[in-house]
A = this chain, B = another copy of it.
Amino acid sequence: MEKLDDILFYQLDKAIRTYRQFAQHRIMSAGFELTIDQWLVLQAIVDDPNRNQQEVAEAAFKDFASVTRIIELLVKKGFLNRSIHPDDRRRFLLTPTEKTDRELANIRSITMQNRKTALKGIPEADFDCLHQCLNQIINNCKKS
Contacts and interface: CB of A to CB of B under 8 A. Distances in A.
A143 B9 contact: no
Interface string A31-48: 000000000100010010
A132 B126 contact: yes
Q: Chain A binding site: helix, strand, loop or mixed by DSSP?
A: helix
9 contacts: A1-B47, A9-B19, A9-B118, A13-B16, A16-B16, A18-B137, A18-B142, A120-B140, A130-B133
Chain A interface extent, by class = 35 or more
Contacts of A105: none
A65 to B, nearest CB: 15
A81 interface: no
